[in-house]
Structures are given as C-alpha cells and as structure tokens.
Amino acid sequence: MITSLLSGDAALFIDGKQIGYILGSRGWESRSIEEPANESCWCCGL
C-alpha cells in the first residue's frame, strides 16, 4: 500500500473497516502515437 501511495495512487479508508482500498489515480504523462521527430531507428536509419 505504501508503494502505491508513493507512486501516485490514492487510498480510501472507511471508519470501522480493517482494510483500505487503493484507487488507481496516477497521472503519468503519456506520449503521442506519432513517430518522434528527434528519434530514429539506429538499425536501419528510419
């Protein structure tokens, strides 16, 4: 649970319950699906 919290997930604790729930709420940046202009294939030069 601590690892999930440090990675950006949220935790939900309910009064009277002995467990907590991890909520997937990470906000990682994502790349577009387009080919990057400054990265090319090193094996064939594309």
What's the rounded Cα separation, in Å, for the pair 24 and 12?
11
What's the rounded Cα separation, in Å, for the pair 24 and 10?
7
% of the chain at pLDDT higher than 70: 65
What's the rounded Cα separation, in Å, for the pair 26 and 11?
12
At residue 34, the pLDDT reads: 76
What's the rounded Cα separation, in Å, for the pair 14 and 35?
45
Write the pLDDT tens digit of every residue in 10-31: 899 999 999 999 988 777 667 6
Per residue, the 3-state secondary structure of 12-42, as one string, reads EECCCCCCEEEECCCCCCCCCCCCCCCCCCC
